[in-house]
Structure 1
Amino acid sequence: MTARQGSAWEIFRVFLRLGLTSFGGPIAHLGYFRAELVERRKWLDDREYADLVALCQFLPGPASSQVGFGIGLYRGRYLGALAAFLAFTLPSAILMLAFAFGASLFAGPVGEGLLAGLKIVAVAIIAQAVLGMAKSLAPDKQRAAIAAVAAIAASLFAGSAGQLIAIVLGAIAGYLFCREDAVSNSTNLHFPVGRRTGMVCLVLFLLLLLGLPALAAVTGSGTLALFEAFSRAGSLVFGGGHVILPLLQAGVVAPGWVTGQEFLTGYGAAQAVPGPLFTFAAFLGAVSTVGPGGIGGAVIALVAIFLPGFLLLVGVLPFWNTLRTRPWAQALMRGANAAVVGILAAALYDPVFSTAIVGPAEFCLALVAFVLLVSWKLPPWIVVLVGAAGGVFLALVPVF
């Protein structure tokens, strides 16, 4: 399946809507992406999408943003990748910057109900993604078993470590048990990245990771120190999302650039906005006492935290294009893709379902959202509005 090339403006419009409506964290974002880009627009199919998700789960960086960047690259080359990143990131980054300047967001029962409703919608979105991906990526007993084992591994080993273990085990199982018809099931997802470009990006990634700390120390520049702290966090985190918080806390709270209270306040606000949690960096950069602060600090922190993951993704892609055509690599990916289904299933239970569904009323709202998505086939952004309104209603008029 070869995607028709799209314009940067088309990609920007689609990802801007996703950036305005994708609540619930990185796993939920993958569900939103699948609903909009795989099911509705058919820019790529489930196997191609799962290949990209599995690769991004292997790499450090913001996984959902890397997937969006990769889809933009595939659809519209480098301008498309930039358009996808900016559109998906700007809404939450602007809201976090506004919060840093004192704009009070989501306060009181209405705001709390709105946030609760958005979490409930995330349950329906991820449930739909698990159901749809299981049909195409785990259709036989071997891959269904791999998905189940992956879900168990991801549940027993919390955080990104569990996800990596699940994908590695899935890939090994795929190599052992899913080698039949590997060639006939190959996909044609080709990224427009040459080997020389890939090598340059890998070198830049290593320079940021290894050379920037020394440069910041030698120059004594607060701006470089700020860039290095956020770049280090973006380089070392696997899976993205909430896993970044300990690294950010060590980078800005421990040296005294941001107070612990400011950190927790900003983190709370980050739960109420759509888009990637990594835009929490905009708030931290704006309030940091090191660096320019304000808008300048926010821009520096945002660029620094996202750049390493994108460099690494572009650096790996040209070699990935070659490897994935080999029969043994296809077998590995069949197992890894099935493991992705299991990881989504585990995330559907914890933390998504366990934190969002706290009573029968919340369960009923999630069920309504699921039916609207699966049976009525409404666009996710409409279901987000329904869920948000339902959450506010439940907060103001408790029914159970």
Structure 2
Amino acid sequence: MIAIAGAIGAVGRRQTVTPSSVGITPFIRRSTGFLLLSLFAVLLIALPLARAWIHSPLWALFDSFYRAGALVFGGGHVVLPLLEAEVVPQGWVTASQFLAGYSAAQAVPGPLFTLAAYIGMAAFGWKGALVATIGIFLPSFLLVLGAFPFWHWLRHQPRFQAALAGINAAVVGILLAALYDPIWTKAVNEPADFTFALSAFLLLAVWKWPAWAVVLVSFVGGWLRALFG
């Protein structure tokens, strides 16, 4: 969907915004950037193929989280359904553990990346946490450093700007889809759940509470509800 949206944006959009002339001087050679981008693509293709031959749970974990990290466009929540489809059917964590980790991770910066460490730890201990964290962060390092030598040229290309506009539009739809499934379908099952969700939304969006405080209040509310029925 992201690729299709980018192609539609590049073909269909004509007006673009001229970027400012202020920029950062590249400190990475183009040859090095090309090598990093090539490594990113090779790993994206080779890891799933090697997974069929290397029967190692840590290898499978690294492959799953590398692919998830490679598809983070517009925010980590975009890959939430992909992460769930990768880790829950494998039995690494249960659906309840996944949602619990996702909820707790909202109280800290970079929640989806924190969730990766949590899932790795829950599944395979500290080795799993290390492998999952490296796996989900590595694609962004390769992409950012690899594209950096070409960025000044790319940001002045109208087609590239238009493709990014299309991708941004698609990401909004993907975020809404992730909000519905798995979050809404698995977390909101009765009127009390809806009341909790609405209250948290009002605290965050209207009264401007910090995210960690909203998570803490929701946690206490859920605990009291379970305690007193």
Q: 1:271 aligns with which of 99, 105, 124?
A: 99
Q: Which amino acid aligns with 2:136?
A: F
Q: CA deviation at 1:346?
A: 2.2
Q: CA deviation at 1:370?
A: 1.6
Structure 1 pair 177–307 and aligned structure 2 pair: CA distance change class (3 A):
closer
Q: What per-residue deviation string (whole Å, max 9, x for no partner) do you get for residues 214-243 of structure 1? A: 9xx9xx9x9xx6764443333444454453
Q: Which amino acid aligns with 1:278?
A: A
Q: What per-residue deviation string (whole Å, max 9, x for no partner) do you get for residues 55-105 of structure 1? A: xxxxxxxxxxxxxxxxxxxxxxxxxxxxxxxxxxxxxxxxxxxxxxxxxxx
CA distance in 2, matches of 1:315, 1:234: 19
Q: 2:142 aligns with which of 312, 315, 329?
A: 312
Question: In angstroms, what is the RMSD of aligned CA positions?
Answer: 4.0
Structure 1 pair 271–192 and aligned structure 2 pair: CA distance change class (3 A):
farther
1:183 matched residue in structure 2: 17
Q: CA deviation at 1:341?
A: 1.6
Q: CA deviation at 1:349?
A: 2.3
Structure 1 pair 231–333 and aligned structure 2 pair: CA distance change class (3 A):
same
Q: How does 1:115-264 map to 2 (within 5 A)?
A: 165=1, 167-180=2-15, 182-184=16-18, 194=28, 195-202=30-37, 204-205=39-40, 206=42, 210=46, 228-237=59-68, 238=71, 240-241=79-80, 243-244=82-83, 263-264=92-93
Structure 1 pair 378–248 and aligned structure 2 pair: CA distance change class (3 A):
closer
Structure 1 pair 285–322 and aligned structure 2 pair: CA distance change class (3 A):
farther
Q: Which amino acid aligns with 1:314?
A: V
1:292 matched residue in structure 2: none
CA distance in 2, matches of 1:353, 1:249: 17
Identity of aligned residues (%): 33
Q: How does 1:55-70 map to 2 (within 5 A)?
A: none
- The number of equivalent residue pairs is 204
CA distance in 2, matches of 1:208, 1:171: 19
Matching of residue 284 in structure 1 with residue 110 in structure 2: no
Q: Which amino acid aligns with 1:317?
A: A
1:385 matched residue in structure 2: 216
Structure 1 pair 172–305 and aligned structure 2 pair: CA distance change class (3 A):
closer
TM-score, with structure 2 as normaliser? 0.65
Contact 2:19 2:156 in 1 (8 A): no
1:366 matched residue in structure 2: 197
1:322 matched residue in structure 2: 153
CA distance in 1, matches of 2:145, 2:211: 32
CA distance in 1, matches of 2:200, 2:171: 23
Task: Structure 2 unaligned segments of length 5 or more: list them.
Answer: 73-78, 106-110
Q: How does 1:341-352 map to 2 (within 5 A)?
A: 341-352=172-183
CA distance in 2, matches of 1:210, 1:396: 49
CA distance in 1, matches of 2:84, 2:186: 19
Contact 1:227 1:300 in 2 (8 A): no
Contact 1:369 1:383 in 2 (8 A): yes
Structure 1 pair 348–382 and aligned structure 2 pair: CA distance change class (3 A):
same
CA distance in 2, matches of 1:246, 1:375: 33
Contact 2:203 2:209 in 1 (8 A): yes
Q: What per-residue deviation string (whole Å, max 9, x for no partner) do you get for residues 336-365 of structure 1? A: 212222222222222222222222222222
Q: What per-residue deviation string (whole Å, max 9, x for no partner) do you get for residues 293-333 of structure 1? A: xx4x3465245523542343234432355323212222222
CA distance in 1, matches of 2:87, 2:21: 38
TM-score, with structure 1 as normaliser? 0.41
